[in-house]
Amino acid sequence: MGSSKVVNAGLISKGKKFGIVVSRFNEFISSKLLEGAIDTLVKHGTTESDISAVWVPGSFEVPMIAKKMVNSGKYNAVICLGAIIRGETPHFDFVASEAAKGIAQVAMNGDVPCIFGIITTDNLEQALDRAGTKSGNKGRDAAQTAIEMCNLYAEV
Ligand code: INI
């Protein structure tokens, strides 16, 4: 319709500041997600010195630091990265559900977007696929989502 206002945020991140929280558990995978996220932010215009990444022990701890980063007022968006891989016990389900719930809670209570870039997979192969091989790099996707969302927060 001619007079309707349609908001569609761009993907330019120049001048924006990003906090990244990354889980050390399954570090081989999460370090690839981190590399992908940083590379994507830089490719879209962010200066490397405007990116701060914090390593935490596991995905369960990600929301705790994400909350502090969101509340610090220093960042235009916070990106959460990690890899939760199913094992023999129900541990996976608890960690995955608390990480997702915690990040959603931080996102809804904060004034800047907090992005869920934690992969949850049934096995290592599926995780590798999502960390820069067959299925792309979910760290890149999370970074692109963060850029779009912080540009949207500036518009809406
Ligand atoms: N943390 C992860 O990030 N990925 C996993 O696959 C994982 N598994 O499978 O156990 C995991 N567990 C650790 C958890 O996040 C906490 O660090 C730990 O429970 C201490 O609170």
Pocket of ligand 1, beta carbon within 6 A = 23, 25-26, 57-61, 82-85, 87, 91-92, 95
Task: Give the residue, by CA position, lying nearest to ligand 1 atom 19.
Answer: 60
Burial of 28 (0-12, 13-18, 19+ CB in 10 A): exposed
For 20-69, the pLDDT digits (tens) are: 999 999 999 999 999 999 999 999 999 999 999 999 999 999 999 999 99
Predicted pLDDT at 14: 97
Ligand 1: atom nearest CA of 118 is: 3
Model pTM above 0.95: yes
Q: What is the average pLDDT score of the chain?
A: 97
Ligand 1: atom nearest CA of 86 is: 9
Tell me the average pLDDT across 85-105: 96
Ligand 1: atom nearest CA of 60 is: 15
Q: Taking a C-beta distance cutoff of 8 angstroms, is the pair 25, 124 a contact?
A: no
DSSP characters over 29-74: HHHHHHHHHHHHHHHTT--GGGEEEEEESSGGGHHHHHHHHHHHT-
Predicted pLDDT at 1: 56
Question: Does the active-site annotation cover 44?
Answer: no
Predicted pLDDT at 103: 98
Choice among 57, 72, 91, 134 that is catalytic: 91
